[in-house]
Amino acid sequence: MTRLLKWERLALKGDFSAMPTPFVWDQSGRFAHFLNGYEVTGGMNPLADLALTMSAQARKTGKWEASALDLWLCLFFQHRAHRHTGSEGGDPNLDALCETLRLALNRLTPDEARSLASRLKQDAI
C-alpha cells in the first residue's frame, strides 16, 4: 500500500483543511479515488452523464458549479477517463475543478464533512 500524505489521511476523516492550496490536477489522482464514483452514482452511465454535463457547463461558463460530492464525482470520472484514454493532465480546466472542489469541501459543515467522509474508502488508510 502506498503511504498517504498527512492531508490525505485527514481528508479520509472528513478534515479537508490541510489540502494543498491551490489544489491541482497533478495532486488529485489518489484523492479522486478515495470516493468510488461508480458505487455512489449507481454505475458508469449515471456517472458519465453527471460528469459530462458538468464538464460541458464548466467549459461554457468558465467555472465549475456543483456540490462538493458532485465535484468529487466529476474528478473521479476525469481521472478514470484519463487513465483509459492514456491522456495527460495539463488542462487548466482540470486544475480549476480541483481547486473548486477544495473550496467546496472546506465550506462543508462538520456534519456534512463527516457524512461525506462516511462514503470514502477507509481501507485506503
Q: How do residues 49-108 score in pLDDT, each as one tens digit?
A: 999 999 999 999 999 999 999 999 999 999 999 876 656 656 789 999 999 999 999 999
Per-residue confidence (pLDDT) for residue 51, from 0 to 100: 97
For residues 18 and 44, what is the distance between their CA atoms, to the nearest angstrom?
31
Q: Exposed, middle or buried: residue 77 (CB in 10 Å: 0-12, 13-18, 19+)?
A: buried
Averaged pLDDT for residues 113-122 = 91
The model's pTM: 0.92
How far, in Å, CA of 117 to CA of 37, rounded?
14
Q: Is 48 exposed, middle or buried (0-12, 13-18, 19+ CB in 10 A)?
A: middle
Q: Is the pLDDT of residue 124 over 90?
A: no
pLDDT of residue 112: 97
Q: Kindly give the residue spans of alpha helices, DSSP state H, lying in the chain.
A: 6-12, 29-32, 37-41, 44-61, 68-85, 92-106, 110-117
pLDDT on residue 125: 47
Task: Give the per-residue pLDDT at 15.
Answer: 97
